[in-house]
Amino acid sequence: MSAPLLEVKNLKVEFPTRHGLLTAIDDVSFTIAPGEVLGVVGESGAGKSITGTAIIGLLEPPGRIAQGEILLNGKRIDNLSYDQMRAIRGREIGAIFQDPLTSLNPLYTVGRQLTETIQTHLDLSAEAARKRAIELLAQTGIPAPDKRVDQYPHQFSGGMRQRVVIALALAANPKLLIADEPTTALDVSIQAQIIQLIKTLCREHGTAVMLVTHDMGVIAETADRVAVMYAGRVAEIGPVSQVIHSPQHPYTRGLMGSIPKMGADVLRLAQIDGAMPRLNAIPSGCAFNPRCPQAMERCRKERPELLPTETTHAACWLHSVEKPVITSSPLHGLSEGKMLEDA
């Protein structure tokens, strides 16, 4: 069994406000193995991006980690100082954000930004750092990298800028990559190229990837396992093929039912009534119960933990009959996901 590279244990993120304490992430746990892609999906406001931001230590004040642990290679990183975390960020954890323009300084050439990042984390001369910068641009599919290395961000298209951001994220050969909506606002052909690039990184470098997205097509093409989030908690987690083709949580079934299928002769797509609850109005019991067509009285009073199902693990009382509540074991990486897939 492959030891997990990233372990998130009972993570809780809070935002103190004048009107009270808002809990954005509530008791979230998962792991990612080396070379594995864990997709994280859900509606806007589910807590996907906040989870990634907490892992890389970039929570905006007054946001804070109120509970839980984040371990990278068995070492806890959530309690490190700013300078200690800054040394890890970039060197061991890379990040790709949704809008490449927020990650690139418009006043500097992409080559300068790459070489500065490389020299910050690796003991290389200016000449060696520039050579590596050109190699990274070539590796991420940018044509004529020896010429484009001296160009500014505005001289690149959206897809090319996203490739530069990926090159920045890979500058120091990180073990973990947090990719937050890396293909949003890109056309389909560029999306496919970015997806292929991420898969190549996993295959050739053993990079672990947390892929945050709302696009199930990207998840189906890229991820090994998928965690479905709702109202700051994991609603379902399991091998991607099982979650897509045999979802066990009513929310996941609703998400899958709302996706058009090629060749399907249907007049209307399924929909989930209602909306994601606000952080200051999360209902008691299961947070999904006001929107769930199968809600029971127990759902309105008791909050379910992840329970084993035939194919995945789901936080739903529909699977509680003669089945014990699980702890952390089903959250582990590729080997256990494969075991579930083979079951």
Same domain? 187 vs 96: yes
Same domain? 39 vs 163: yes
pTM over 0.75: yes
| Percent of the chain whose pLDDT exceeds 90 | 61
Mean of pLDDT values over 3-17 = 95
Same domain? 239 vs 328: yes
pLDDT band at residue 326 under the 50/70/90 scheme? very low
Is residue 263 a part of any domain in this protein?
Answer: no
In sequence order, the β-bridge partners of residue 178 are 95, 210
Taking each helix axis from N to C end, the angle separating 126-139 and 110-121, rounded to the nearest 10 degrees, works out to: 110
Same domain? 105 vs 209: yes
Same domain? 190 vs 217: yes
Q: Are 33 and 288 in contact (CB under 8 A)?
A: no
Same domain? 90 vs 188: yes
Is residue 8 a part of any domain in this protein?
Answer: no
Burial of 281: CB neighbours in 10 Å, binned 0-12, 13-18, 19+: exposed
Same domain? 214 vs 304: no
pLDDT at 332: 55
Same domain? 166 vs 203: yes
Q: Which of 190, 208, 228 is the last residue of a domain?
A: 228
pLDDT at 331: 55
Same domain? 102 vs 224: yes
Structural domain including 136 reads: 33-56+79-228
Q: Residue 4 CB: number of other CB atoms within 10 A? A: 24
In sequence order, the β-bridge partners of residue 93 are 89, 176
Same domain? 290 vs 145: no
pLDDT band at residue 205 under the 50/70/90 scheme? confident
Mean of pLDDT values over 91-100 = 86
Both tokens assigned to 336: 């256990």
Is residue 191 a part of any domain in this protein?
Answer: yes
Nearest to 30 by CA among 339, 332, 334, 342: 332
- The per-residue b/e assignment along 291-311, b for 16 or more CB within 10 angstroms, e otherwise, is bbeebeeebeeebbebbbbeb
Is residue 20 a part of any domain in this protein?
Answer: no
Same domain? 213 vs 108: yes
Is residue 307 a part of any domain in this protein?
Answer: yes
191/262 Cα distance (integer angstroms): 19
Say yes or no to pLDDT of 144 above 60.
Answer: yes
Is residue 294 a part of any domain in this protein?
Answer: yes
Task: Give me the CATH number covering residue 121.
Answer: 3.40.50.300
How many domains does the chain contain in total? 2
pLDDT at 333: 54
Same domain? 192 vs 248: no
